[in-house]
Amino acid sequence: MHPLAPTTLRPLWQIVLVSASAGGLGWGIRGQYGHETGAMIAGLLVSLVLVLAFRPFASSLAAARAVAFCTAAIGFGGAMTYGQTIGLTQNEAVVGNWPALGWGMLGLALKGALWIGFAGAFLGMGLSGVRYQAREMAMILGGLLLLALLGIWTLNQPYDPGNRVLPKIYFSADWHWYPAAGAELKPRREVWGGLLFALIGLVIYTGWFRRDRLARNMALWGCLGGLGFPLGQTLQAWHAWNLDLFKAGWLARIDPIINWWNFMETTFGFVMGAVLALGLYLNRARIDSMDEPPPITMRPSVEFLLLAIHVPLLVLWEFDSVDLLDSIGDLGIPRSLIPLIGAAGGRFWPYLTALPVVALPILGKTALAMGFGAGNWLVPALGFVVLLAVAHGFGRSAIHSKAHTHLNPGLLTATWLYFSLNYAFFKFPWPWREWTVRTPNALVYTIFALVLTWWALRLSKRE
């Protein structure tokens, strides 16, 4: 492998701080937009920061593939339900119940580890120099799907809440923790067992069969980064367990404007970004030089045909309900199938994934939140077309460009696009107006966005 020369590597504290800021911003924003596609914001921002930090002069296409791999794979974990798991640590009926708190935190640690473990693994796959082409990627994803189904059948069954029959290992609302509850409890279906089997299979395949030590190691570091989930929830649970502290004094004054849930999410993302940065730094000798663009095995016509297939599926998954599609998409992995295959073999798909594909559901949900109406798709469609044009331009010049040429403006664009959309979603909580539960989070996001902007401009000036 090709370790970075000391003169090209940014200080560790700087890489960790900026990556943590990217994770905090992305995961905090994710909370407003949902599971799979919302998580891709965090995957995009963190991977952009890390690839730019370690390989700013790599081939643009090779770097963009690493970004696309991480961005698409972090969506896998969105299949897992976690609201009721959080409830075990803070709901009024279980406040003071230490076993319920411990069980809930264990569930969050497991689900967080699986969520970020996939992001770390695929980021490593993109940076290691082991070439995963489109055909192999399709086989990998097919194998992960089979393992996921096996894991669900093994660990997340039986599931018959009508008869109060639930899996033996279960981290959601259960009559064991809520003995006085009736039919209103509605335990959620869990799929963490499927993702556990799939992640183990991925680590075995990449680390043993493909000898991709970076992918294996970054999967484990991703699992460690997933501990940000229970760490963030510790803050929210502390509030729920100590409400008497917030009845008087300065805590009583700030409590009405604190969104404890959103700060939990922001903390999760901050820890996740910091740990992935540290893990990649410690494994930097395994990062490939990526001087040459990777092989392109997919014709542009095929790439845009896949885009024409994926966009309607994405719209249906996010804005409609079709039973068959929902049952497939709810497994998590199928939603990222086309982006990962396209990114592995195409010239345009790495940029399509990072720009228009990630943005489309966020643009649409923001438009709905602002009251544009379900039938008014002009604004999101226009934003999608603009980003599509940018991605097409990046793809056309990818072969002869360096990573910083496209990824640096990409980082600035993604930072302020999602910050602005979320600010609109928050109903523009300007700090000089009356503060609401949105204002403190918006201020934190502003700090994160400014950190990313400072860093991107600093890189641009240096390069």
In single-letter form, the type of residue at position 19 comes to S
Q: Cα–Cα distances in Å, from 463 out to 17, 20, 57, 408?
A: 20, 23, 9, 10
Q: Cα–Cα distances in Å, from 154 out to 106, 180, 191, 223, 333?
A: 19, 29, 10, 21, 18
pLDDT at 34 (0 to 100): 80
Tokens of 157: 């069954």
Return the closest-CA partner of residue 110 out of 171, 188, 26.
171
pLDDT at 324 (0 to 100): 86
Using an 8 Å Cβ cutoff, are 50 and 197 in contact? no
Give the three-state DSSP class for 110. Answer: helix
DSSP state of 356: I
In single-letter form, the type of residue at position 29 comes to I
**Distance from C-alpha of 343 to C-alpha of 321, rounded to nearest angstrom:** 27
pLDDT at 1 (0 to 100): 40
Using an 8 Å Cβ cutoff, are 355 and 343 in contact? no
Half-sphere CA count of 37, side-chain side, radius 13 A? 26
Return the closest-CA partner of residue 360 out of 317, 322, 394, 297.
317
* Residue-by-residue pLDDT tens, the chain, 463 positions: 444 443 357 899 999 999 999 999 999 999 999 878 899 999 999 999 999 999 999 999 999 999 999 999 999 999 999 999 999 999 999 999 999 999 999 999 999 999 999 999 999 999 998 999 999 999 999 999 999 999 999 999 999 999 999 999 999 999 999 998 888 899 999 999 999 999 999 999 999 999 999 999 999 999 999 999 999 999 999 999 999 999 989 999 999 999 999 999 999 999 999 999 999 999 999 999 999 999 999 999 999 999 999 999 999 998 888 888 888 888 899 999 999 999 999 999 999 999 999 999 999 999 888 876 555 677 788 899 999 999 999 999 999 999 999 999 999 999 999 999 999 999 999 999 999 999 999 999 999 999 999 999 988 776 6
Taking the CA atoms of the chain, what radius of gyration do you get in angstroms? 21
pLDDT at 4 (0 to 100): 45
CB atoms inside a 10 Å sphere around CB 421: 24
Tokens of 92: 């009024």
Using an 8 Å Cβ cutoff, are 363 and 421 in contact? yes
